[in-house]
Amino acid sequence: MLDRDAPINFLEDQFHDMQLELDEAQGQLHEIQHAQDALHAPPDEMQVDDEDEPQEIEGVSEMDSEDQAPQPAPVEVHTPAASEASVNM
């Protein structure tokens, strides 16, 4: 009877070893898949570069641009009297 059980025991041991190898290979594949998914995931909002964010213009607030049409910048008016006064000083 021992002669018949020897091949069965040998095959069971091989089967067990192969199952362990399969589990290890599946774990490695899972790690690789997880790493690839992380590479293709959308960036975290906190990790966005400044280049991707809109730049603010000095002197213009969000409220200015939301409610009103753009206004031209004020032009300084130079009167001849003011110009002469600065030249004569």
Q: What is the pLDDT of residues 6-40, one digit of tens each?
A: 999 999 999 999 999 999 999 999 999 999 988 88
Percent of the chain whose predicted confidence (pLDDT) is above 90: 34
pTM of the predicted structure, to 2 decimals? 0.41
Q: Is the pLDDT of residue 45 over 60?
A: no
The CA-based dihedral angle spanning residues 28, 33, 36, 38, taken in that order and rounded to the nearest 10 degrees: -100
Q: Is the pLDDT of residue 64 over 60?
A: no
> d(Cα 39, Cα 7) in Å, to the nearest integer?
48
> d(Cα 48, Cα 27) in Å, to the nearest integer?
32
